Amino acid sequence: MNNKKKTSWFSYLLPYLIIILIIAGIVTIVNMSNKASITYYEGDIIGSISEPTDDQIKTKAEGSVLWTERITSIKVSYYDGFVDISGKVMKSNGKRDGIYSFSSRITGSESNIEVLSYIFQNRMVDGSNDNLYYGNSKDGSEFSISNPYASNFWTDYFPIICISLLGVGFVIFLISRMGSSIAKSNSQTMDFNRSRARREDNSNVRFDDVAGCDEEKLELMELVDYLKNPVKYANFGAKLPKGVLLVGSPGTGKTLMAKAVAGEAHVPFYSISGSDFVEMFVGVGAGRVRDMFKKAKQTAPCLIFIDEIDAVGRQRGAGLGGGNDEREQTLNQLLVEMDGFSDNQGIIVIAATNRADVLDPALMRAGRFDRQITVPLPDRKGREQILKVHARNKKIDSTVVWKNVAKRTVGFSGADLANVVNEAAILAVRNRKNAISIKEVDEAIDRRIAGPAKKSRHLNELERKTVAYHEAGHAIIGLTLPASDVVQKVTIVPRGMAGGYVLSTPEDDRFLLTKEELTAQIVGLLGGRSSEEVFFDDISTGASNDIERATRIARAMVVEYGMSTLGPIQYESNGGSVFLGRDYTSNQKNFSGAVANEIDKEIRKIVDEAHQTAINIIKEHKDDVILIAETLLDVETLNAEEIDYLLKNRHMPEEKEVEEVKKSVEVTEEVKETELREEIKPDSKEENKEQK
């Protein structure tokens, strides 16, 4: 500590010392600029006069260069064989008037000094005064004769002392800097075992900012209430849960919910990522876990949030890295801290991951993570609430109905919906709009699904026509097949790698899919390929992705879901070793070669039947396909209302008619929802209580 104080004191004074040296140098340079050089020759002043008379001295003095100026001070120093003359003169004529310094050296002896003293003072100097004399001349000028061999502190010793002190100070400064850098490196070395958890005491996120997951919020709100009112739970003998694991797809709001807990709890909240524990040095991760819980105990009750815990909590016993792996040591320490011999009363661990399948079973058991909360993708109502939350501070036009937008965004996560609203705001600024309209929202959804529109991609007429009939084939199957999803939009504007696409969403959010619905998906995917066969008697590469997805669904129906004549037997599973890579060990085959042949036949049978169904539907509604395709070639994009009007009236609607169609659709949907609520409404108060 003392060394640090000395170093800081010297570092504080060093800038001022440098400034003083700079100022001294500037003053020296200025003085040198005012220095006049006057040359004296031996014959001009002294000549060979040994005992000059007054007339001779006067004559020489008047002819001397010195007397052409007014001398204010003169200093004469005698050395062996020469004499130094220095002083100051005042110029009264010329362009640069002022006082200037001069210096000169002449050869001679002590007698020359006597002559010079007579010249400058009109009197002789007694030689018995050790060659040192001070006096004033008749005109007021100062004259001094100094002994050059006499010592002078300010001229002889002070400069040396200053230079020595500056040198020593510079060396001390270098040594102190080296010492501080070494101390810093040593402190960083010792900091390896310190926790990287960041403490947050003033989070601005609240539970009101989290939408679309009401049941999950209730679980976490109960934790907050426990921290605020522990006595209420202690009266019933309830103990504080040690850990809560949030599991869900990416973007569903797990981290946001943890931030809301931090904002509502009003207790110390430590946040850290799972990757912050793992380092290249063995034992560092375990040390950081110990230090994190040590700090948490000092501020209990508190919360610890570990994001992406799968980075450190993967299953142990891989057989490849051995038992001394750094990640395994870190996990072992985490297991001990969460539920070991030491009691961590008042510490709640909240962890988030989207790979719960790879976590170690010891970490998942009760007593460590007592609660496992699954955060799913939001439903239609949740999507509407999320959209409204993210639209709070934005200018929204009255044409935007978030309820309708929520219907078009099936499968979107909370992060996707936040991105849609933000992209819509950016597009409104780009288009110089006063508010965000439904046009910008629709474009933002399309950009999220397939990327920005590539208007610079120019397709020839044959390609545009092929794409139009391809997408029209997809659309007509979605409009006619009962189990298909509802067609929301058809476009032939290129986006990403696709020349066009059809946006289809289920009428309601579903958690289960039937065999009929999966078969309808395969038929819809093959509709584009079938349309090309019917209208062009040829096929293109545009259906490659459709064929891939259709084959994947058909194979899953046979080997996983048991939806074939082979019976309810699972022939393949997606399980595998997480350490060897699931892609290498996935789809484990538990069947013989004969069964593999039967599986291939069943997959081919499902795809062929769906292909034939798609061809039959397109041939049956050939006129509708032509109408939609030719309209797409003109307008490029059709939404659900425009498609419905087009098929009924065989032409595109006017602007007024479009508004009327939208209103009628909204009224029809409201009537359907009202009827649905009436159907599920309980008949009595007792049933209502039971339902609650």
Instruction: Report the distance separating Cα 425 and Cα 395, nearest Å.
Output: 8
Angle at 424 between CA 418 and CA 427, to 5 degrees: 140
Phi and psi at residue 366, to the nearest 5°: -65, 145
Cα torsion through 520, 522, 524, 527, rounded to 10? -130
| HEC-encoded secondary structure of 53-107 | CHHHHHHHHHHCCHHHCEEEEEEEEEECCEEEEEEEEEECCCCCCEEEEEEEEEE
Active site residue 679: no
Burial of 33 (0-12, 13-18, 19+ CB in 10 A): exposed
Instruction: Report the distance separating Cα 475 and Cα 646, nearest Å.
Output: 13
Beta strands in 92-153 (DSSP E): 98-107, 133-136, 142-146
| Three-class SS state of 118 | helix
Number of neighbours of residue 277 by Cβ within 10 angstroms:
29
Q: Contact 192/276 with Cβ under 8 angstroms?
A: no
Catalytic residue chosen out of the listed positions 423, 443, 471, 642: 471
Q: β-pairing, 82-91 with 70-79?
A: antiparallel
Phi and psi at residue 330, to the nearest 5°: -65, -45
Tokens 């609650």, residue located:
692
Q: Contact 572/559 with Cβ under 8 angstroms?
A: yes
Instruction: Report the distance separating Cα 278 and Cα 396, nearest Å.
Output: 46
Q: Contact 499/647 with Cβ under 8 angstroms?
A: no
For residue 452, whether the previous peptide bond is cis, meaning omega lies within 30 degrees of 0, is no
Adjacent-strand bridge partners of 491:
501, 637
Distances (CA, A) of 434 to 396, 398, 688: 9, 12, 47
Tokens 């988030």, residue located:
352
Tokens 């919020």, residue located:
217
Closest listed residue to residue 449, CA positions, set 411, 484, 406, 492 = 411
Q: Which residues of 60-78 are buried (b: 16+ CB within 10 A; e: fewer)?
A: bbeebebeebebeebebbb
Instruction: Report the distance separating Cα 130 and Cα 585, nearest Å.
Output: 108
Phi and psi at residue 491, to the nearest 5°: -145, 150
Instruction: Report the distance separating Cα 115 and Cα 50, nearest Å.
Output: 9
511's CB contacts (< 8 A; 6+ apart) are: none
* Catalytic residue annotation: 471
